[in-house]
Homo-oligomer: A and B are copies of this chain.
Amino acid sequence: MTAPITIALDAMGGDNAPAIVVKGANIVRERFPDVRFVFYGDKKKISSVLSKKKKLKEVSKIVHTDIFIPSDMKPSLAFRSSKGSSMRLAIEAVKEGKAHAAVSAGNTGALMAISKTVLKTLPGIDRPAMAALVPTDKGESVVLDLGANTECDHNNLVQFAIMGEVFCRTILGIKRPTVGLLNIGSEEVKGRTEIRQAAEILTEIDLPLDFQGFIEGDDLMHGAVDVVVADGFTGNIALKTLEGTAKFAFEAVRKAFKTSLSAKLAYLIARPAIRRMKARLDPRRYNGAVFLGLNGISIKSHGGADPLGYANAITLGIDMARHGFIEQTHKEVAHIAPKMAEALNGKAA
């Protein structure tokens, strides 16, 4: 792209906003000196942090608002009272073409509702899905949906597969990503009806993706497929269980190295190796969930992200903008839509 990329930031979202947001943007500025930032929120508070980052200040703008959405507010209420809020202004900037992507560490449900309402879904997509990367034995996989849709039909699951595949191809650079449906048991007779129906469609119609069938919970971290498709309830449970278990396991290892003096010595010796391993699995590397299927880029950072984590969420937005993810998805869905409609009509009949 020739024009400089601009990122709209909800400066008031997250546990330590706006400090973390400004510090995160500053890390991104070091990575991409050409990128521009717009901070939405309390001008005084943002300025007091931004004034210490001279170079960042030069490429940044602040748009003041007094309205912030609390993290713990019920999403439906938050949505209704979102007009003029820092979160909504950031997303509207994307809609209006003033920014290439919006990032927020605030209320997930509100961000989802506002993103969907303001940015709208792409033609051919019924519902957006929340996607994130997870580290695997082989590298990383894309998992979606992570909670945007508590219940899904086969149609939604097929669309998620297509969006996830485009994401994987354009952002991770995997030429022919493999796609799997998260299910119980790998046989075709097992699992929920909508999942089996989605598998039929993905097998039958000629899609530019390498559908591998069903995968199970224990296949996730082995990187069995590049794109893992599930409804938002199941995806959320799987991802959180994965995160919780990984944290537990490393904590268990850390404790094991404190049980004796010799174990402590061993830890000192092995520290470089342990650090390398931890760095690869560092949750900050994988911070940033993205709403796929919308006509614009909206990224959710963990509420408790540190500056490095926040910077990675912004970087994901930059990557998506640079690679023309929205345009690419739009094109592919338009190409696939007639085939899908045909297959879906077949199922409905």
| Contact surface of A with B, Cβ cutoff 8 Å | 74-76, 136-137, 147, 150-151, 182, 184-185, 187, 189, 191-192, 216-222, 232-234, 236-253, 255-257, 259-260, 262-263, 265-270, 272-274, 276-277, 280-281
Contacts and interface: CB of A to CB of B under 8 A. Distances in A.
Contacts of A241: 217-218, 220, 237-238, 241-242, 245
A154 to B, nearest CB: 15
B276 A259 contact: yes
Number of copies of this chain that the complex holds: 2
Contacts of A217: 236-244
Given A241-B245, A244-B220, A234 B236 contact: no
A238 B236 contact: no
Contact of A263 (B240, B246, B269): B269
A75 B191 CA distance: 13
Given A187-B74, A237-B217, A273 B244 contact: no
Contacts of A259: 273, 276
> SS class of chain A's interface: helix, strand, loop or mixed?
helix
Nearest to A263: B273
A252 B277 contact: yes
Given A244-B220, A245-B246, A248-B221, A256 B237 contact: no
23 contacts: A74-B187, A136-B248, A147-B185, A184-B233, A184-B237, A184-B240, A216-B237, A216-B240, A217-B237, A217-B241, A218-B240, A221-B244, A222-B248, A237-B237, A241-B245, A250-B253, A252-B277, A252-B280, A256-B277, A266-B266, A266-B269, A269-B269, A270-B270
A248 B218 CA distance: 9
B273 A256 contact: yes
Contacts of A218: 240-241, 243-244, 247
B270 A257 contact: yes
Which are the 6 A-B pairs with shortest beta-carbon distances? A217-B240, A218-B244, A249-B249, A266-B270, A217-B241, A266-B269
B276 A256 contact: yes
Contacts of A185: 147
Contacts of A236: 184, 216-217
B216 A184 contact: no
B256 A184 contact: no
A225 to B, nearest CB: 13
